Amino acid sequence: MKTETILNQLASATVVELDADALPELLADSKLLSESDTHLAGLIRILALRDLLLVQEQHPESRKLLLRGFTAREEAESFVRERLETYERMWDGCGCKVEYFK
């Protein structure tokens, strides 16, 4: 999946599935702003690509790579912070669930 295709899909979708073989190209085309190990669902990254910010995460069961677009860095950072807080509570046995496709 080419970077242009990803951007076109993000224009009309909240979440886009990314082919694993497209990740290296996306990482090469973008600037890595942050990367955190979730300890449950791989790495979660904030990437800058042109005038869009992308959050790349991985579904823990299906291992699908997912992308979300954000226009402001604060929004992307808030999203990542909330995800990491949820994963932390999951370690504590809260019974929390993450809605990956919303």
More confident residue, 86 or 90: 86
- Distance between CA atoms of residues 61 and 70, nearest Å: 25
Residue 24 maps to a domain: yes
CA–CA separation, 1 and 36 (whole Å): 24
Q: Distance between CA 36 and CA 79 in Å, rounded? A: 13
Q: What is the pLDDT of residue 2?
A: 81
Instruction: Please report whether residue 79 resides in a domain.
Output: yes
Answer yes or no: is 84 within a domain. yes
Per-residue pLDDT tens for 5-30?
A: 888 888 888 899 998 888 999 999 99
Domain count, the chain: 1
Predicted TM-score (pTM) of the model is 0.87
Q: At residue 47, what are phi and psi to the nearest 5 degrees?
A: -120, 145
pLDDT per residue as tens digits for the range 37-87? 998 888 999 999 988 999 999 988 888 999 999 999 999 999 999 999 888
Whether 98 maps to a domain, the answer reads: no
Angle at 17 between CA 56 and CA 90, to 5 degrees: 55
Q: Is residue 46 part of a domain?
A: yes
Determine, yes or no, domain membership for 15.
Answer: yes
| Residues spanned by the domain of 71 | 3-91
From the CA atom positions of the chain, what is the Rg in Å? Answer: 13
